[in-house]
């Protein structure tokens, strides 16, 4: 084998190794992007503090009871109706609304207890912690995407085209070279 062929062969190997290293670097950064996005989704999906959930339950129960007591969807008996000398069982009684009117406090107590027990088994986060975590994750994500764009541009400048992700942050893709790491 001639020196020219050996030299060309060595250059091809170096280029292949360089291309592989650039590709591996981009894949490492993309893996980090996926991890950060998954963590962001997880933080967004966490339950609010228990007092928020209990407040929502109380609001819902109060609204249900108010609607029931308004009697807008049928007759709701009161104790005086059963004491009436002229009482007749032919009244149209709305059982669901009667339940909501009279048993809602018992239901509310049981539901609050079940919710408190449920909160012992789940992960939750305060609104302030959620906001702080999401801001930091978004910063970290942008930093990683800027690094990814920097590697892609270096690869392109060296003759190794790398396809950008369709969901890449436009702030990174459109960033000036001086803004990239």
- 151: domain range? 1-46+126-181
Residues 34 and 51 grouped into a single domain: no
Q: Is the pLDDT of residue 142 over 60?
A: yes
**Per-residue pLDDT tens over the stretch 159-176:** 888 999 999 999 999 999
Q: What is the pLDDT of residue 63?
A: 85
Q: What is the pLDDT of residue 148?
A: 96
Q: What is the pTM of this model?
A: 0.72
- Number of structural domains in the chain: 2
Torsion 65-70-72-76 (CA) sign: positive
Pull the structure tokens for residue 118.
């449920």
Mean of pLDDT over the chain? 85
* 151 and 111 co-located in one domain: no
C-alpha dihedral (57, 62, 64, 65), degrees to nearest 10: 140
Same domain, 72 and 114: yes
User: Could you say which of 98, 124, 150 is where a domain stops?
Assistant: 124
Which is more confidently placed, 90 or 41?
41
pLDDT at 76 over 80: no
Domain stops at, among 124, 140, 171:
124
CA gap 146, 180 in Å, rounded: 6
| Whether residues 99 and 144 fall in one domain | no
């Amino acid at each position: 084998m001639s020196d020219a062929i050996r030299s060309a062969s060595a250059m091809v190997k170096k280029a292949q190794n360089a291309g592989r290293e650039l590709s591996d670097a981009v894949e490492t950064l993309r893996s980090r992007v996926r991890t950060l996005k998954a963590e962001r989704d997880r933080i967004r999906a966490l339950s609010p503090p228990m007092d928020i959930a209990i407040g929502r339950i109380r609001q819902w129960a109060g609204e249900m009871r108010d609607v029931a007591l308004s009697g807008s969807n049928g007759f709701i008996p009161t104790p005086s109706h059963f004491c009436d000398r002229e009482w007749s069982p032919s009244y149209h009684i709305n059982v669901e609304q009667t339940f909501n009117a009279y048993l809602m406090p018992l239901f509310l107590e049981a539901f609050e207890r079940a919710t408190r027990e449920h909160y012992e088994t789940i992960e939750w986060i305060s609104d302030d912690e959620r906001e702080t975590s999401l801001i930091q994750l978004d910063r970290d994500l942008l930093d990683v995407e800027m690094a990814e764009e920097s590697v892609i541009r270096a690869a392109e400048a060296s003759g190794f085209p790398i396809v950008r992700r369709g969901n890449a942050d436009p702030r990174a893709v459109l960033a000036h070279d001086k803004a990239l790491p």
